[in-house]
């Protein structure tokens, strides 16, 4: 059974960079067809897709965040990561990592989520 676990700093200062890592267990991050994603959910609000990285290494980002977001993969560590630069209070959210299935598909496995608060 595939499992995902987010880790990283829970408190980030405004204008700094938010960094999170998702560790995948129970399967290989390099398996054919696997794509990996980050999403977030501000407190009391709905879901927002941040971006994903395909098996090919190609990345695609939410246009509203594109200039501040980077998703990368560490295949040897079976991990993938998220960096969000120049954060503000609006970036405070529960951040989820997940697996993305198919083209124009859906998210079938999710991590438990990690709360990141942006505050001085």
Partner 1 sequence: QSVLTQPPSVSGAPGQTVIISCTGSSSNIGARFDVHWYQQYPGTAPKVVISSNNNRPSGVPDRFSGSKSGTSASLAISGLQAEDEAVYYCQSYDKSLGGHVVFGGGTKVTVL
Q: Give the residues lining the site for partner 1 (CB under 8 A).
A: 46-49, 52, 60, 62-63, 96, 101, 104-108, 110-113
For 28, 49, 78, the CA distances from 62, given in Å and listed in that order, are 25, 7, 24
State both tokens at 28.
């290989």
Shortest approach of partner 1 to residue 62 CB, angstroms? Answer: 6
Shortest approach of partner 1 to residue 114 CB, angstroms? Answer: 11
Q: How many helices (H) and strands (E) in the chain?
A: 0, 11
Q: Which residues pair with 35 in a beta bridge?
A: 100
Shortest approach of partner 1 to residue 73 CB, angstroms? Answer: 19
d(CA 120, CA 109): 33
């Amino acid at each position: 059974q595939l499992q995902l676990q987010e880790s990283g700093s829970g408190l980030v200062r405004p204008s700094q960079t938010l960094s999170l890592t998702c560790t995948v267990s129970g399967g290989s991050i390099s398996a054919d067809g696997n794509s990996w994603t980050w999403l977030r959910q501000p407190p009391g609000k709905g879901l927002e897709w941040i971006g994903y990285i395909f098996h090919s290494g190609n990345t695609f980002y939410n246009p509203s965040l594109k200039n501040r977001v980077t998703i990368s993969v560490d295949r040897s560590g079976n991990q993938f990561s998220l960096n969000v630069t120049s954060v503000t209070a609006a970036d405070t959210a529960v951040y989820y990592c997940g697996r993305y299935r198919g083209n124009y598909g859906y998210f079938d496995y999710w991590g438990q989520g990690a709360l990141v608060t942006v505050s001085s």
